[in-house]
């Protein structure tokens, strides 16, 4: 869409993390804010189609993305402020990641960025 997003997430040292990095690199995403967690797995969501056509989502708990390091995220945001800060609500479910993201959002708003939360 013409923007240069900074991907801020935390992944495990596992096959899912390797695959995620490869796909993000293929799309040209800036990966400097991707954190690596040697103790937790990369987060996953299982999507199951039900007989009635609805979807059921099983979101794994206590994954790497639930433990985003706020200090490291703020360090990655040094320099030019992004134009937009985007977050999904899933990233806000764990207190550690919620504090990291809200701190980053506050910093970016102070520097003139707009925010978008995907509900």
Q: What is the pLDDT of residues 10-41, one digit of tens each?
A: 999 999 999 999 999 998 888 888 999 999 99
**What pLDDT digit, counting tens, does each position of 67-100 carry?**
999 998 888 888 776 777 777 778 788 999 999 9
Do the Cβ atoms of 108 and 85 come closer than 8 Å? yes
**Predicted local confidence at residue 84, as pLDDT:** 74
- Please tell me the pTM assigned to this model: 0.82
Q: What's the gap between Cα 41 and its chain centre?
A: 14
């Amino acid at each position: 869409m013409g923007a240069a997003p900074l991907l801020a997430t935390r992944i495990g040292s596992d096959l899912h993390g390797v695959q995620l990095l490869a796909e993000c690199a293929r799309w040209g995403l800036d990966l400097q804010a991707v954190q690596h967690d040697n103790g937790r797995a990369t987060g996953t969501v299982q999507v199951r189609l039900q007989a009635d056509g609805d979807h059921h989502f099983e979101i794994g708990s206590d994954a790497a993305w639930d433990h985003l390091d706020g200090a490291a995220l703020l360090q990655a945001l040094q320099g030019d402020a992004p134009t937009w800060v985007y977050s999904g609500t899933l990233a806000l479910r764990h207190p550690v990641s919620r504090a990291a993201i809200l701190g980053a959002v506050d910093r970016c708003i102070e520097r003139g960025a707009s925010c978008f939360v995907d509900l």
